[in-house]
Amino acid sequence: MRMQCLDTKFFTSTSLVPMQLPSRMETHLWYVKPNEVKSEQLLNKYLEFLPKSEKEHVFSMRGDELRKGALLARALVRTTIARYQINQVSPRSLKFRKNIHGKPEVDWQQIEDWHPQQLHFNISHTESLVACGVTTHNPIGIDIEEKERKIKHSISSFAKRYFSQQEVQLLSSISDPEIQRQEFIKLWTLKEAYVKALGRGFSGSPFKTFTIRSAAASKESIHLSESSSFENSDIVVESLEDSTNHTGDWQFALLELAGSHYAAICSRKDCANIGSHPMKIGVWRTIPLVEDEYVSGTNSVIAVGGLM
């Protein structure tokens, strides 16, 4: 029987396996499952990566589970970005700032000797999964939601309040309440991912002002086929406001992650991507400093839409 010893000397920043940056057409997605991180020693190691302000934020969370989630989110972001640096970099040395709308980004200028990279990232977390998406040259937004998530309001009233008219119509055309709920959650994550990719904040791109739908569904046809509305089709966004919104610039992917979550990814199409190829995504399940597992092509990553 093999004893698994997680010795302290394993937990150094050199335990991060270096990674090559994704190409312009690729997206990398890293995720951690909090219930896979049990070692208090390891959690303390992650805590050491955080500056005072981030530590304060972690401890401002109410309760152990929320603190752990907040800690893992910061640890995931820092260790993920550190992996892509050409020279050995400690996750501790990364500095972050927010753009004028509040979207977090890396502050490259604060680190001497670094070359500013065209690295973009975005994180999302739920109680049971924390994820970080990485792209180069093009902004990215991601949103994760538990597949079983239930909302307190009725889907219909929620959609009427926040979604576009077409989206309301589509959802109300679904008679099975469970399928309706699933489609609602998928649509929510896609809309969130889009707004986060745009980086203008919730009020910069109000949910009512754009529609996300499958390319296969036309404006006129509001009826769903037997299968899910996003399956086997490109996912597109339409602006209901003004035509200068360049909605054609954005591409989407919807995945089922780890059997338990929907993950929506939105990124700007690369200018070199003339043929409008679907997003190429590499997914890793990780326990930073301990193990990384490439899970694309396994049951942990199932394409739901936008990836034909």
Partner 1 sequence: MATFTASSLSFTSLSISLDQNKGLARGSVSLPAKAKSFGALTLRSAPMRFRVSCAAKPETVEKVCEIVKKQLALPATTEVSGDSKFAALGADSLDTVEIVMGLEEEFGISVEEESAQTIATVQDAADLIEKLCEKKE
Binding segment (CB under 8 A) for partner 1, from list 3-11, 77-85, 109-117, 175-183: 3-11
Binding segment (CB under 8 A) for partner 1, from list 44-52, 104-112, 172-180, 221-229: 44-52
Which residues share a beta bridge with 236? 213
How do strand 280-287 and strand 291-294 relate by DSSP bridges?
A: antiparallel
Of residues 91 through 110, those in contact with partner 1 by CB under 8 A are: none
Taking CB under 8 A as the rule, does residue 149 contact partner 1? yes
Nearest to 35 by CA among 282, 265, 284, 258: 258
Tell me which of 95, 97, 161, 277 binds partner 1, using CB under 8 A: 161
CB of 44 to partner 1, least distance (A): 5
CB of 268 to partner 1, least distance (A): 21
**49 near 92, Cβ under 8 Å?**
yes
Q: Give the per-residue contact string, 45-84, with partner 1 (x = CB under 8 A; - = no).
A: --xx------xx--xxxxxx-xxx----------------
276: left (phi over 0), alpha (psi -120 to 50) or beta: left
CB of 115 to partner 1, least distance (A): 33
Burial of 296 (0-12, 13-18, 19+ CB in 10 A): middle
Burial of 38 (0-12, 13-18, 19+ CB in 10 A): exposed
Q: How many of the other CB atoms lie within 10 Å of CB of 214?
A: 22
Summarize as ranges the residues that interact with partner 1 (CB under 8 A): 1-6, 38-41, 43-44, 47-48, 55-56, 59-64, 66-68, 125-127, 145, 149, 151-153, 157-158, 161-162, 188, 192, 201-203, 206
